[in-house]
Structure formats: C-alpha cells, structure tokens
Chain A
Amino acid sequence: MNRVHTTGFILHVRPYRDNSHILDLLTEAEGRTACLFRGRSQKARSFARYELAWQGRGELKTLSLLEEQSAVVLAAQRLACGFYVNELALKLLPRQIPLEGFFEDYAHTVAALARPDEDLEPLLRGYERSLLHYLGEGLESIDLAALEPEACYVYEAQRGLRIAGPGERSRGACVHGETLRELLGGGVQTPRGRQEAKRLLRGLLDHHLQGRRIMSRALFPGAAGQRQENREP
C-alpha cells in the first residue's frame, strides 16, 4: 500500500461519525487532498504546519501521522482573513495536483497573517494573484512597459487585457495602467489603486468560482450602510 510522508496545512476539519474527522489538507507532496483522521479535533487545527503521513488510495486516505511542526495564532480580523485564504484554496484548487510554488505562497501568507505589523491588503492581493496564476490567469504576461499610467484597461478572465471602452470607464469596471504596474510590480500604494486591484482580482476569482459564494467575506462586520466590499481588507 502507498505511504506518503509530507508536510502540510489543514484547510478545514469536518466531523465524521463519532470519533473521526475528515481533514481537507494542502500538502507539499500532493497539493489539495483529504484524509480521514481518527482522534480528537483539538489535535487538528487550521493554520498550523504539520508533519503528515497517510496510507491508502483513492479520494480519501487514512492519516497515520499528524505532528504539529509550527503553530501560528491568528486573532480577530487576521483570523477572518485566514478563513478567507483557506476558503479560496478549498474552493478553487484542484485535488491531488501538487502545484509547485503555491504551497510556499500559502505558507508565506499564513505566517505573515500572524505578524501584527503586516499590512493585510497587499498580503491578500499577493495571495489572490498567486492563486490566479495557478488557475491559469496570465496577469504576469502583461507588458508593463506598454501600459499608459492614466489609461483605463479591462482585464477579462481567460482572455486578457484590452483598453476600456467609453461606457466601461464610468461603471468602475476598469483599472488604470498605474494600478496594474503597481500590482504586478512591487505593491499598490494609493487608495484608488488598492480599490481597483481588489475589484480586479475579485472579479477574476469570481469567474473561477462559477457562482459559488465566498462566505468568509461576511466575517467583516462594518458600519451601517458601509458596503460589504469596503469592509474587508
């Protein structure tokens, strides 16, 4: 029987029968996978890095080793962001396909979430970009030198970049060349750029979600009348 020994993170824990749990995992060796774990749920926590081993074939394997390697404590808004990060991975990543580099991006994001001085918006935008890259969106192939900073562009999922039409500029569907440069360069600084980057990446993620709702976005309570989109980092 195949035995796999690797490291990974728990994305989600679901109770199964009386004393077992099904763990949705993001692992270095096999990407996203699921394992049956017999034991107390306190031993299986999201956002901690584990040494893992399992046996079995097919979709659901039985975990034979679950040893915590390092734990991060996420609290308050950062914990809500952690759920967002996990929910995106769970809903968008294919199963059983190791994505070289994504595991490191995820680990970096979770570790950075735990640092109280880390700016959340650029961190989440970076994670979203990484996910989109592995989902086949070619944001990286945009020729930054050819972008006009104040020109308006539209990036369509699976199709690419084009100049925005006159009607699209007023509907807020477009993104400035400057924002794209910053987003794909070092990081978006201006409030306008941050708003545009968030909208752009969200639109692309929504395309890949195919109508599935990201529930973690509701975890950010805001002031009365404040739009949900503006509450989250």
Chain B
Amino acid sequence: MKSSLLDELIDALRCLPGVGPKSAQRMALHLLERDRPGGERLAAVLQDAMARIGHCKVCRTLTEHELCRVCADPGRQRDVLCVVETPADVLAVEQATGFRGQYHVLLGHLSPLDGIGPEELGLDRLEARLDEGEIREVILATSTTAEGEVTAHYIGELARARGIRSTRIAHGVPLGGELEYVDRGTLSHAFEGRREY
C-alpha cells in the first residue's frame, strides 16, 4: 500500500534527535489538528534555513551571512581566539560567560580511531588563522573527552610553535556537586588541577 502524506510527515519528523515513532506521530497530529499556522511557519522557516544557512567564512559557525555576528562585530577583541568543537559550544560560551573575543569552530574533534586526523578536521584553516599574527591567546575549549583533550593538545602545540599563548578551560568537580558522586577520572583531574585558595 502506498504510504499517505501523513505517514510521510511522521517519518520525516523522525530525523530529529530523540524523536521516535510515537513522538513523531504526536508532533504531526498536533500541527495538523491544533496549529496549522505554526506548521506552515515551521515549513517555511525550515526551507529557508536549509537553503541559506551555511558556515561563517572565518570561524565556521553557522550563519546565513558571509561572516557571523561575532566575526562581523568590530567591538570584539581580535587577539583572543576560543577554539570549540561545535556551533552549539559557541552559543553555550556566549550565553554563560562574558567572553568578548573571537571563535574558531572545528566542527568535530580529532578522532584517529574514526579516521579523523588533523587533515580531515581541516586544522590547516586554523593554522592559517594563527599565522595571520593577530592572535595572542588561544583558549582551548574542546570537550573533556579523550578526543577533546588530544585535540586541545594538538592545537596547543600549533600555538606554541608560533609563540602564541594557549590556555585550557578548567575542568573538575561540577558546581553544586558532591565528591562521593563524582567519578574517579573527574576527581583525579580535579586534584591534579587544584590551585591556591
């Protein structure tokens, strides 16, 4: 039997993360039965976004312009570069900190066992940025997984080779966390990174 348009919509919604068949069915029925204008707006914006949003020419975050809002802002510091893995990390740093420098989005991390080395990650683009001579500090804000750590180390070496200061975001016991519930690796890291108090 040929699948109906409704089936097709339900199936299409399943491409979203965390959306299984039940949730997809609820979403489709909600839009069709209770919020047609919302559905039409979603369809229009989705089509527009898919067609126009690409990557910033400088930092590689998502934007529909040639330069993203951060790269185009003349009021931001040009000599501090925060290296993150994903566009979501840019949003997280922007929302949680008062950082006023530039970003470089790697769109992933080094993962040799998945076949991703420096070349595959496009680190030559970051090297070219470091070679421009404007950057004085690189903040390594990659994740604290083994892959994120090795990525930070590699980029740190690239910065050091050019005489650029590199710093790593601190990690350890989460705010409000109790020691007995913190895993061994994190606690060991937190002890290694203790500082004067």
A residues in contact (CB < 8 Å) with B: 11-12, 14, 18, 41-43, 45-48, 68, 70-71, 73-77, 79-80, 82-84, 86-87, 90, 214-216, 218-219, 221, 223
Contacting residues, chain B, for A41 (C-beta < 8 A): 145
- 28 residue pairs bridging A and B, Cβ less than 8 Å apart: A18-B17, A41-B145, A42-B183, A43-B183, A45-B146, A45-B185, A48-B184, A68-B183, A71-B184, A71-B185, A73-B188, A73-B192, A74-B146, A75-B149, A77-B153, A83-B112, A86-B113, A87-B112, A90-B113, A216-B112, A218-B112, A218-B117, A219-B110, A219-B117, A219-B118, A219-B150, A221-B154, A221-B157
Q: Shortest Cβ distance from A190 into chain B, in angstroms?
A: 27
Q: Are B184 and A70 in contact (CB under 8 A)?
A: yes
Q: Chain B: interface secondary structure?
A: helix
Residues in chain A near residue B183, CB distance under 8 A? 42-43, 68, 71
The interface size of chain B toward A, counting residues with CB under 8 Å, comes to: 26
B residues 111-129 touching A (CB-CB < 8 Å): 112-119
Q: How far is the CA of A46 from the CA of B114 in the complex (A)?
A: 14
In the complex, whether B189 has a CB less than 8 A from a CB of chain A is yes
- Which 9 A/B pairs are nearest by Cβ-Cβ distance? A215-B112, A218-B117, A216-B112, A71-B185, A71-B184, A221-B157, A12-B113, A215-B117, A76-B153
For residue B158, CB closer than 8 A to chain A, the reply is yes
Q: A71-B188, A221-B161 are in contact. Are A80 and B153 (CB under 8 A)?
A: yes
A213-B16 Cα distance, complex, nearest whole Å:
34
B18 interface residue (CB < 8 Å to A): yes
Given the complex of chains A and B, what is the CA–CA distance between A219 and B156 in angstroms? 12
List residues of chain B with CB within 8 A of the CB of A47. 146
The answer to whether B112 and A79 have CB atoms under 8 Å apart is: no
* A-chain residues with CB within 8 Å of residue B110 when the two chains form the complex: 219
Residues from chain A with a CB closer than 8 A to the CB of B185 are 45, 48, 68, 71, 73
- Residues of chain B from 1 to 49 with CB closer than 8 A to chain A in the complex: 17-18
B150 and A87 form a contact (CB under 8 A): no
Contact present for B161 and A215 (CB under 8 Å)? no
Q: A219-B110, A221-B161 are in contact. List 17 more A-B contacts (CB 8 A).
A: A12-B113, A12-B114, A43-B183, A48-B185, A68-B184, A71-B185, A73-B189, A74-B146, A79-B146, A83-B113, A86-B113, A87-B112, A214-B112, A215-B112, A215-B116, A219-B112, A221-B157
A91, closest chain B residue (CB): B113
Chain A positions within 8 Å of B119 at CB level: 218
Q: Tell me if B115 and A215 are in contact (CB < 8 A).
A: yes
Interface residues of B in 139-163 (CB under 8 A from A): 145-146, 149-150, 153-154, 157-158, 161
B127, chain A: closest CB distance, angstroms: 9
Q: How many whole Å from B138's CB to the nearest CB in chain A?
A: 14
B157 touches A79 (CB 8 A): no
| Closest residue of B by beta carbon distance from A80 | B150
Q: Within the assembled complex, what's the spacing in Å between the Cα atoms of A83 and B154?
A: 13
Q: Is the CB of A218 within 8 A of B118?
A: yes
- Which chain A positions have C-beta within 8 A of B114? 12, 14
Q: For window 151-197 of chain B, which residues contact chain A by CB distance below 8 Å?
A: 153-154, 157-158, 161, 183-185, 188-189, 192
Across-interface contacts of A14 in B (CB, < 8 A):
114
* Chain A residues with CB under 8 A of B115: 215
Q: Is there contact, CB below 8 Å, between B146 and A46?
A: yes
Contact B192 A79 (CB under 8 A): no
